Structure 1
Amino acid sequence: MSNRLPRQVKLFGAVSLLNDFASEMVYPLLPAFVTGVLGGGAAALGALDGAADAAAAFVKLIAGRLADRPERRGPLIVIGYFVAAAVRPIIAVTAAAWQVIGLRVIDRLGKGLRTPPRDALIGDVTPAPLVGRAFGLQRGLDHVGAVIGPLIAWWMLSTGADVRKVIVASLIPGVLVLVLAIWAARGAEGRRGAANDLRPEGSPPSAAFRRPSPPVIAIAIFYLIRMPETLMILRAQRLGIAVAVVPLLWAALHVVRSSTSFVGGALSDRIGPSRTMWIGWLSYVVLAGGMALAATPLAAWLVFLALGVVAGLTESPERALVSAATGGHRGSGFGVYHALTGVAALVGGIALGLVFQRISGATAFLVSAAGALGLVILWPFWSRSHRVPPP
């Protein structure tokens, strides 16, 4: 058997790189664009993040079940990338914050549509001994794109371009994404497509909503009380970080996230996902409190970058706990996980955005830190009483 990864895996890695390149040119500039150019407030930013996450989460429920039919994967993947490439540059001509929120939601609908069939296709075309490498390549190149995009945006801003021009420029990598996605999706039924058709269908996603597992509930609570990334960026700007430098800050954050994700995965295997996730939550309490108390641009830089550690310590353990708690219905279990965390992010984003706007950014971070502290204190008792899968 060849040790080389299939052509489609490499193509989807390139697609992920270019798509995040385009997306991350725009995303870190949205707080400045919504508040500075369009006159929106922090509540609008909270709604922006939350609504986008909730939209993607619910579409993943539907797309995941549609992707059980291999012949549907190619069209779903291409449509998903097309939606993002077409909608993202339109943000440049918006005139109100609600228009940006609407377009961002549509962008995330595309993400929700393409992600399950893409991952299913990668798994199908890759020989079993190489599946880990295949997904590692895809995620690694995704992070590379998330670093390059903000750097290009910073270069454009530093050479005289305004925010609208940077957003329009994201169309260029977006078109390349679409071309590569069409190429990569050819033969999307996969090497084991016929075998997939023979697998029995699990319970419908709606059945899992009746009894969400304790880990999923706890994780959703964390998403409810966690500060949206747009408000983190806005807080950094209010502490003196210039808009032109924000893309550099965002790129550096992704470097931290990428590197600590490997640590989080290894730690999860060593001491267990429940304990690793708890450490991530505890880190968030300390860092959210630090962002509330920060008073200088240097402090904002240090705490903002350190917050990248939280994602590294929580994302992998979250998925490990959800997988262990779903029994034989992983598709439905992960669908519920994405849907509940998406709704929680929406509600929490709006609420914390209102606190940020009507009181202060420091108060919003303190409220978030206090809520996370409560979860940190309760989780050890909750996990034991509900017999959460052992670490």
Structure 2
Amino acid sequence: MSKAEPMASQASDHAALRFVILLGVLSLFADMTYEGARSVAGSYLAVLGATGAIVGLIAGVGEFAGYGIRLFSGILSDRPGRSWWIMAMGYGVNLLAVPMLALAGRWEIAAALLVLERIGKGIRTPVRDAMLSHAAEITGRGKAFGLHEALDQIGAILGPILIALVLWHQHAYPLAFGALALPALMALSVLGAARVAYPDPGRFGATAEPEASPALPRGFWLYLAGVALLAAGFVDFAFIAFHLERTGLVARPWIPIAYAIAMGTDALAALALGWAWDRVGPRLLGGGVLFTALAAPMIFLGGPVGLMIGLIMWGTGMGLQESIMRALLAAQVPSHRRGTAYGIFHTIYGFAWMMGSLLLGKLYDHSVPIMAWSAFAMQIGALLVLLYWAERERITLSAS
């Protein structure tokens, strides 16, 4: 082997890592924008006169619209030359809808903007994940997705803190949403820089594997069944914020802080789980889901102490889904089909999230304990399906 070969390999490693970090910084500013808004979306809707069922409907429809469109954007992203255009469209819609919430005076208008924000995120997410998976072939899947999620969640911490500071001083939701225009513009600037620096991210994984059958693996569909149950039973933070506003369990300015705590846990969990994934593999999945299953009962039934413990569980669950679950998909599907696979994955996830949110919203208006334990039961059901899938497929997937 010549000296030039290891030097070229090292340069490729560094380029892939830089690309992962650049996408992470992009997500940092993007999350600062829309997660800042989402941290108070439920309480904002409550102030505007929405009911628990309406909040559940908005959360469910928004997530389904955002996840459903990922099927089409994912399929399009597998075609050469489309990825960056799809990214630009998605981030533009996703980020610019947020500051416009400052102008909403009715819950119907706020609901439309929140759904639009979800659609924008849906357009660009499969493309971004496919780009990230190509670089992950070189850096290690757990490392790439874990690092990306950690940077992503730094923004998800900073956004709610910014909202909390504005509400603490002004108690004005419109001013708080208007302040999120700055990180939105920063995210769009980073997106432009990434496009210039890495016009063809697919080159990272171009030689990772030969061209394979266009059919997706059979185990992929069983895996998605477990993911669907997991999504259905995972309570949207809009519900949590609505519950905190309605019950007065914490003061209004502390609601986004509660979200920041959950996002901080998410970031730490993603880093730790991503690192461990490259060394231990899918055995982490069962323990992670089991730990997070009690999040809803703790948050909704456990009082102030239960709320803190539940937020940590909830944040860990988010970190699990955004690192290991995405890495598992990349490990199952050939690189030339990943845009489509991520699109299908997110569509099914979003449909399950919508149906779960609708059900949990109705149950919340009827009985909070029944709602909380129903969410727990669906999480346990997901755990059983995923354990069966792992055993059936004899999963030994690793970093690359």
Q: Normalising by structure 2, report the TM-score.
A: 0.81
Write the mapping of 1:103-182 to structure 2, written as runs, cut at 5 A: 103-121=113-131, 128=138, 138-182=148-192
1:337 partnered with 2:345: yes
SS of equivalent to 1:307: helix
Supply the distance in 2 between the matched residues of 1:85 and 1:382 (Cα, whole angstroms).
37
Deviation at 1:307, TM superposition (A): 2.2
Deviation at 1:61, TM superposition (A): 2.2
SS of equivalent to 1:242: coil
Supply the distance in 1 between the matched residues of 2:222 and 2:137 (Cα, whole angstroms).
34
SS of equivalent to 1:185: helix
Which whole-Å deviations, capped at 9, do the CAs of 1:258-307 have from their partners, x for residues lacking one?
A: 1122333345455542x43222332233333323432x334323322332
Which whole-Å deviations, capped at 9, do the CAs of 1:287-346 have from their partners, x for residues lacking one?
A: 33323432x334323322332222334544433443455467544433322111110001
Q: Normalising by structure 1, report the TM-score.
A: 0.83
**Which residue does 2:36 correspond to in 1?**
25
**Which residue does 1:245 correspond to in 2?**
254
Instruction: Tell whether the 8 Å contact from 2:152 to 2:267 is kept in structure 1 after alignment.
Output: no
Supply the distance in 1 between the matched residues of 2:357 and 2:123 (Cα, whole angstroms).
23
Deviation at 1:250, TM superposition (A): 1.1
Instruction: Tell whether the 8 Å contact from 2:41 to 2:238 is kept in structure 1 after alignment.
Output: yes
What letter is aligned with 1:283? Answer: F
What letter is aligned with 1:222? Answer: L
Return closer, same or farther for 1:371/1:169 CA change in 2, 3 Å cut-off. Answer: same
Return closer, same or farther for 1:261/1:387 CA change in 2, 3 Å cut-off. Answer: same
**Which residue does 2:227 correspond to in 1?**
219
Supply the distance in 2 between the matched residues of 1:84 and 1:226 (Cα, whole angstroms).
22
Supply the distance in 2 between the matched residues of 1:377 and 1:126 (Cα, whole angstroms).
29
**Equivalent in 228, 253, 256 of residue 265 of structure 2:** 256
Instruction: Tell whether the 8 Å contact from 1:28 to 1:150 is kept in structure 2 after alignment.
Output: yes
How much identity, in percent, do the aligned residues show? 25
Write the mapping of 1:163-202 to structure 2, written as runs, cut at 5 A: 163-186=173-196, 189-190=199-200
Supply the distance in 1 between the matched residues of 2:328 and 2:341 (Cα, whole angstroms).
11
**Which residue does 2:83 correspond to in 1?**
73
Instruction: Tell whether the 8 Å contact from 2:225 to 2:385 is kept in structure 1 after alignment.
Output: no
Q: Aligned-residue CA RMSD in angstroms?
A: 3.5
Return closer, same or farther for 1:209/1:103 CA change in 2, 3 Å cut-off. Answer: farther
Return closer, same or farther for 1:182/1:239 CA change in 2, 3 Å cut-off. Answer: same
Write the mapping of 1:34-113 to structure 2, written as runs, cut at 5 A: 34-36=45-47, 38-113=48-123
SS of equivalent to 2:82: helix
Return closer, same or farther for 1:67/1:189 CA change in 2, 3 Å cut-off. Answer: farther
Supply the distance in 1 between the matched residues of 2:141 and 2:218 (Cα, whole angstroms).
33
More moved, 67-76 vs 118-127: 118-127
**Which residue does 1:389 correspond to in 2?**
395
What letter is aligned with 1:17? Answer: L
Deviation at 1:162, TM superposition (A): 0.7
Structure 1 unmatched ranges of 5 or more: none
Return closer, same or farther for 1:285/1:120 CA change in 2, 3 Å cut-off. Answer: closer
**Which residue does 2:306 correspond to in 1?**
299
What letter is aligned with 1:148? Answer: L
Return closer, same or farther for 1:324/1:8 CA change in 2, 3 Å cut-off. Answer: closer
Instruction: Tell whether the 8 Å contact from 2:229 to 2:378 is kept in structure 1 after alignment.
Output: no
Return closer, same or farther for 1:302/1:131 CA change in 2, 3 Å cut-off. Answer: closer
Structure 2 unmatched ranges of 5 or more: 1-6
What letter is aligned with 1:282? Answer: L
Instruction: Tell whether the 8 Å contact from 1:24 to 1:150 is kept in structure 2 after alignment.
Output: yes
More moved, 17-26 vs 277-286: 277-286
Deviation at 1:356, TM superposition (A): 0.8
Return closer, same or farther for 1:377/1:58 CA change in 2, 3 Å cut-off. Answer: closer
Instruction: Tell whether the 8 Å contact from 1:82 to 1:178 is kept in structure 2 after alignment.
Output: yes
Return closer, same or farther for 1:44/1:137 CA change in 2, 3 Å cut-off. Answer: same
What letter is aligned with 1:240? Answer: L
What letter is aligned with 2:363? Answer: V
Supply the distance in 1 between the matched residues of 2:55 and 2:217 (Cα, whole angstroms).
29
User: Deviating runs (4+, > 6 A) in structure 1?
Assistant: 123-127, 130-134
Instruction: Tell whether the 8 Å contact from 1:53 to 1:342 is kept in structure 2 after alignment.
Output: yes
